[in-house]
Copies of this chain bind each other. A is one copy, B any other.
Amino acid sequence: MGGDFGPSVVLEGAVRAFRELGISSIVVGVEAELLACLKQFGIESVPSGTAGITVQNATEVITMDDAPSAAIRGKVDSSIRVAFELVRKGEGSAVVSPGNTGAVMAAGLFVSGTLPGIARPAIATLIPRVGDREPTILLDSGANTDCHAHQLVQFALMGTFYAKAINLYEHPRVAILSNGTESSKGNDITRAAYAALTELPVINFVGYIEGRGLGKDIADVVVCDGFIGNITLKTMEGAVELILDSLRYYTSQSLFRWKLGMMLAKPMFKLLFKEKLDPSTYGGAPLLGLRDVAIICHGSSNARAIMNAIRVAKKSVDGDLVEKLGGALTHLDEVGESFNEALFDRIGKRFEKKKGVIK
């Protein structure tokens, strides 16, 4: 029921995922509305467990204006909570939602719970890089607005194991997003996380990275709090839109020569802006750290983005993402390399002493 454009766009994405990729979905929400929507696509609801689209009734809706955790506790029959419960019961394999991120997060925490050693899950988004290079993984890109230093370290661990689990990087270079590359830069939280990450041998920590380094070949996993991550991602999208709009503006005002040039180069721009830089190509980003697969989509997702998010969900389930991530974190705990409170306290105290000098 979530997303900026209501259920019909989400349903269209699910229908496309079934028709084009052969992935079945249970769509959860106000039954009458969903059934009416589904009819428009010439499809009927099938019983759960059958190939196709199954409509599952959920009478309550959490809006963008709702306070997430209160809503999840209060609205027992909300679509997002019911969706997580279906996955817990084994009727579904993964949750996909373009709704209120806070509500997805709250429902995930409430119904699924977190993996060992993880305080709060984080959204991991793929950022495109130049040419054939694999993307950079940015986390948290929106789940946690105010983060402690130990959360950044947990994000670094999850990012590292996630990169391995999806076969993107074997030994990913991890960096903290900051306002400069020198170790004296950063704010209180990033400096504490910096000190802690240099002590964790399991992480290939390369220091701070600046905003302009995200698309470059500097780090493979970049961690930051979700407030900054959300602003960073949307700023990138805004910059891409600014360039596209400016090119349109100049072309519309311009000489025949420019128009001809842009016409000839159009397929290249399509490749760049519609494939590489369009957020709907990746479709959705996993909420890492939960005991179930959950994929968060942009509120403004179109049907293509929803379909691709469903594809990402299927891939994560098939690749045993949760088991691999959980296994790595548990193993870490066993060999005593996990990022526990004691280690953080020790580093924190040393950091406090050093801080007098840094400041």
Chain A residues with a Cβ under 8 A of chain B: 64-65, 67, 69-70, 128-131, 142, 145-146, 177-180, 182, 184, 186-188, 210-216, 224, 226-228, 230-243, 245-247, 249-251, 254, 257-258, 260-268, 271-272, 276-277, 357-359
Does A235 contact B239, Cβ atoms closer than 8 Å? yes
Does B187 contact A211, Cβ atoms closer than 8 Å? no
Known contacts A131-B246, A260-B264, A277-B243; is A212 also within 8 Å of B227 by CB?
Answer: no
Report the nearest B residue to A179, measured CB to CB.
B230
Give A277 to B238 CA distance when docked, in angstroms. Answer: 13
Report how many copies the assembly holds. 2
Give A302 to B264 CA distance when docked, in angstroms. Answer: 34
Known contacts A179-B142, A179-B227; is A130 also within 8 Å of B234 by CB?
Answer: no
The smallest C-beta distance from A18 to any residue of chain B, in angstroms, reads 31
Q: Which of A214, A216, A261 has the most CB of B within 10 A?
A: A261
What are the residues of chain B within 8 A of A230 when measuring CB–CB?
A: 179-180, 210-211
Does B264 contact A231, Cβ atoms closer than 8 Å? no
Does A261 contact B250, Cβ atoms closer than 8 Å? no
Does B241 contact A276, Cβ atoms closer than 8 Å? no
**Which are the 5 A-B pairs with shortest beta-carbon distances?**
A261-B264, A261-B265, A211-B234, A211-B235, A212-B238
What are the residues of chain B within 8 A of A215 when measuring CB–CB?
A: 238-239, 241-242, 245
The smallest C-beta distance from A198 to any residue of chain B, in angstroms, reads 17
Give A228 to B227 CA distance when docked, in angstroms. Answer: 9
Does A251 contact B268, Cβ atoms closer than 8 Å? yes
Give A242 to B263 CA distance when docked, in angstroms. Answer: 22
Give A335 to B171 CA distance when docked, in angstroms. Answer: 61
The smallest C-beta distance from A149 to any residue of chain B, in angstroms, reads 13
Known contacts A261-B265, A265-B262; is A213 also within 8 Å of B239 by CB?
Answer: no
What are the residues of chain B within 8 A of A277 when measuring CB–CB?
A: 242-243, 246
Give A180 to B101 CA distance when docked, in angstroms. Answer: 11
Does A247 contact B235, Cβ atoms closer than 8 Å? no
Known contacts A142-B179, A177-B231, A179-B230; is A246 also within 8 Å of B213 by CB?
Answer: no
What are the residues of chain B within 8 A of A210 when measuring CB–CB?
A: 230-231, 234, 238
Does B235 contact A187, Cβ atoms closer than 8 Å? no
The smallest C-beta distance from A125 to any residue of chain B, in angstroms, reads 13
